[in-house]
Chain A
Amino acid sequence: MKDSLAPASIPELVDAVRSFERLLPVGGETKPRLCAVNATKLSMLKLRGTLEYEPSEFTFTARAGTPLAEVVQTLAACGQYLPFDPVFVDSGGTLGGAVASNLNGPGRLRFGGIRDFILGARFVEGSGRLLGAGGKVVKNAAGFDLPKFFVGSVGRFGVLTELTFKVFPAAAGTLTLKLAAKDMAAAARILIEAARSRWEPDALEIPAGDCSVLLRLAGPSAAIEQIAADILSRFPGEKLNSADADRAWSNIREFHWTHSTGPLVKVPVTPLSFPDLLKALEPVDRLRVHISGGGNAAYVSMPSAEQFPLFNKALAGLSLPGVSLRGEVPAWVGKQPRAQIADAVKRALDPQNRFPSLDE
């Protein structure tokens, strides 16, 4: 099944779902492992564009195939942003792909991830019906929360066509500090203390390479200058100039720090568990590991699939789950319990298995 489809309208999309036996919706394919399934690819790239945007409502609705870059730009023109801080923006990622893969950027620390900002979704279920769930207002408790369920469900339960998000006003300024730590344990303590502090940091990351912590503040410029001084009196470190800061954040956002080939895996961790993961990965050669979201996600890049078995063993030993974004390795790694309910929900939304199962 090498065919590829690119519907240009919702009726064409519905028609495709009804006529093809096995389909996988894809966007910019910036997470190629999640698209590498034996199914006809259903490109969403022609189903793009902003549908509703009323800045005073803090809500934004766009078609799933809309490039993230376009969304970011549209919002920025009105002084707003997606607080989950999308990744793969310049590399061609789409709004639908961000939801399906549940990838959040550093800013998720402050107000939450995609799951916390998605308000509504329209989708085509396995039988080819176009349905909606959730709503278009910032507060809504009607019906089952399918929009949240679609976050991270990698196109296995339906094709997302339209997504509504809560958006926030962007801060007047940002400021980045690079805090020094002698080892990962010390870096982890900085993450924990800063996340609990009065400072309300916007982002806390440990970029691959050494143990130093990047801390971003967002707010009125005069205020964050004062807060930065307070932080630097607590932890040794320095303020990055804006060019260096922009480079550092774009490097993280676009995953430029990874090996150019080889597997890339996301592993949910905690600020207490990631040092153990890093220790367990020490014997594996040439890994690059980035710690994101205040110590809540580890992104592990390997130069080739050769390192994968040892990596996988380390993950299983710590009972951690993971999802592969790149590389010729299994999509789901480590601890992945599957409840019976997962099959029952799959049958409810996609009785004919039009879309691959989670385990394919």
Chain B
Amino acid sequence: MSTDVLEGLASIFPSDRLLIRAEQLAAYESDALTAFHETPVAVVIPENEDEVIRVVRFCHKHNLPFVARGSGTSLSGGSLPVRGGIVVALNRMNRILNIDPDLRVAVVEPGVVNTQVSQAAASHGLHYSPDPSSQTICTIGGNVAFNSGGAHCLKYGMTSNHVLGLRAVLASGEIVEWGSSSRENVGPDWCGLFTGNEGLFGIVLQITLQLLPRPEYYYTVLAGYASLELAGNAVSAIIGSGLLPGAIEIMDALALEAAKASVHAEYPPGCEAVLIVELEGPREVVSIDCDRLSAILEKSQAIEIRPARDAVERLAIWKGRKNAFSAVGRLSPDFIVQDGVVPRRFLGEALRRVGEMSRKAGLRCANVFHAGDGNLHPLVLFDGGEPGMLERAEALAGEILRMCVQMGGSITGEHGIGMEKREFLGEMFTAEEIDCFQRLRAAFDPLGIANPGKMFPGADAPALKHRGLHPLEKSGQISRE
């Protein structure tokens, strides 16, 4: 890095918030897509909006690439540093500025952790709906950049559906303020366009989030099946009945084995698949809907049906589900998680084909998925210590994504394209469509300095190598979905 640039950054940040030594930078060289790594030239740690704005304008002036980063939990390599660029670490911008129970909004800085929003709103009987599995660590800034999802998207939508307003500094240096506390808006939906930009438009400084009333009553039921197909048929029957559950999740045998080993989850013996369905709402509604659901499940050839009898049992069901991915880490030295979406009616076929493809590739594959919205998360298990295995696992993951597109689905339901899937963007969009995205990107970032090399195919690739699991994953604090 030139002395000019270093001096410029030092004029914005004191030395304890401007990291340049190799041992300081090491912690930032990768995110949750651990197969890739790249060392940034510096990491800056702003504590307020003004510092973020100044550093982005500095980057614009000096044509210096930057990557915004929260907790580094991106599974698509979205917060991977870029060669010759800096990382803007936003974790210290972690204030909840306002919770307004009457307007049902929270105004937060980008470094606020997802679950902290719901915690802060809980005393008002409100919560923040999007619940990615890394929610105890991932930040709202990252959720906004990647339009994160979770288990409740079919009914309540993704991050984008809960962003009412935002202030951001664009890569051009312009400061924009869009939306408000109102659910209504006039003119183009700029918040909608900005959310999910994958860090290519700029850095969000402040976000106004919609809060929802916490449902009065939950009915969570776990059902075990002798086959994935039977579990899938139960999902079709539930959807076909006109019920709208808050969550419908399926775990396969390998995922169940992992959850048992990791969080001592206990499942009906002999089942090859487990279905989790959650209804929520006013008690009068749930009590009627749960009778309908029970009638459907009783006819679904389940080995056992276990409704959660209280909040403790409900949390235990979710704990097994949300830890399934990190748990799979105990079964295998390494794994790749995919995030494809297929139309729900093809779920059974998709799972069968994933099984065939993985057998052919000689790799084990665990399946945990948001069955209600067709969002598959196949986990390809491999040992990166064996030469060529990472490449084989990646090839299988790629085949799975292509299958999702062929079925009319998507290459990403909630993780984003990032570094990982950029070569697959062309599977879903035509060259002309990608060109249109490129023009949009250039409108926000004429110099191409905001998170360059992500989302679009054909850019320089950073080093790809076997790195093993993320330390937070090994400790079970974050998981890959």
Contact = CB atoms under 8 A, between A and B. Distances in A.
Interface stretch (A17-25, A193-201, A234-242): A193-201
Given A323-B187, A347-B443, A139 B149 contact: yes
Interface in A193-217: 195-200
A132 B174 contact: no
Given A137-B342, A227-B284, A144 B440 contact: yes
Interface in B376-429: 408-417, 425, 428-429
A133 interface: yes
27 contacts: A57-B344, A57-B374, A59-B343, A102-B189, A104-B184, A111-B155, A115-B192, A116-B161, A131-B432, A135-B410, A136-B343, A137-B373, A139-B149, A145-B196, A146-B440, A149-B193, A196-B124, A198-B216, A223-B284, A270-B182, A271-B103, A337-B177, A339-B174, A341-B174, A342-B188, A348-B439, A348-B442
Interface stretch (A1-9, A151-159, A178-186): A151-159
Nearest to B191: A148
A59 B370 CA distance: 17
Contacts of A132: 429-430, 433
A222 interface: yes
Interface of B: 101-104, 124-126, 146-147, 149, 153-158, 160-161, 170, 172, 174, 176-177, 180-190, 192-193, 195-197, 213, 215-216, 236, 239-240, 242-244, 281-285, 287-289, 341-345, 370, 373-375, 408-417, 425, 428-430, 432-433, 436-437, 439-444, 455
B374 A139 contact: yes
A143 B429 contact: yes
A112 B158 contact: no
Given A102-B186, A135-B410, A144 B443 contact: no
Nearest to B126: A196
A139 B188 contact: no
Contacts of B430: 131-132
A312 to B, nearest CB: 14
Nearest to A195: B104
A298 B432 CA distance: 40
A137 to B, nearest CB: 5
A16 interface: no
B176 A341 contact: yes
Interface in A153-193: 153-154, 156-157, 168-170, 172, 192
Interface in A299-358: 321-323, 332, 336-337, 339-342, 344-345, 347-349, 358
A151 B440 contact: no
Contact of A223 (B157, B180, B288, B436): B288
B374 A143 contact: no
A79 B196 CA distance: 32
Interface size class of A (residues with CB under 8 A): 35 or more
B285 A266 contact: no
Contacts of A266: 184, 186
Contacts of B187: 152-154, 321, 323, 332, 336, 358
A269 B182 contact: yes
Given A54-B343, A268-B184, A341-B170, A139 B103 contact: no
A90 to B, nearest CB: 22
Contacts of B102: 192, 196, 271-272
A222 B158 CA distance: 31
B145 to A, nearest CB: 11
Contacts of B289: 220
B189 A112 contact: no
Contacts of A344: 172, 443-444
Interface in A125-142: 125, 129, 131-133, 135-142
Nearest to A52: B408
Interface string A250-270: 000000000000000011111
A329 to B, nearest CB: 14
B239 A58 contact: yes
A170 B126 CA distance: 25
Given A112-B161, A270-B182, A296-B183, A56 B240 contact: yes
A150 interface: yes
3 cross-chain pairs, A with B, having the tightest CB-CB distances, nearest first: A148-B192, A344-B443, A223-B284
Q: Which of B102, B183, B443, B444 has the most CB of A within 10 A?
A: B183
B189 A152 contact: yes
Given A129-B432, A271-B103, A168 B244 contact: yes
A340 B177 CA distance: 12
A220 B285 contact: yes
Nearest to B200: A144
B195 to A, nearest CB: 7
A172 B439 CA distance: 46
Contacts of B147: 141, 145
A121 B188 CA distance: 15
A113 interface: yes
Contacts of B239: 56, 58
A293 interface: yes
A155 B259 CA distance: 51
B375 A139 contact: yes
Contact of B417 (A137, A142, A268, A271): A142
B186 A139 contact: no
B153 A138 contact: yes
B75 to A, nearest CB: 11
Given A113-B184, A139-B375, A227-B284, A169 B408 contact: no
Contacts of B409: 135, 137, 140
B192 A149 contact: yes
Nearest to B343: A57
A169 B244 contact: yes
Contacts of B345: 54, 56-57
A359 B157 CA distance: 32
A233 interface: no
B213 A140 contact: no
A170 to B, nearest CB: 8
A38 B225 CA distance: 64
A48 interface: no
Q: Which of A138, A157, A199 has the most CB of B within 10 A?
A: A138
A108 interface: yes
B186 A125 contact: no
A79 B436 CA distance: 38
Nearest to B192: A148
B219 to A, nearest CB: 13
B171 to A, nearest CB: 10
A349 B439 contact: yes
A139 B416 contact: no
A345 B410 contact: no
Nearest to A148: B192
A219 interface: yes
A136 B408 contact: yes
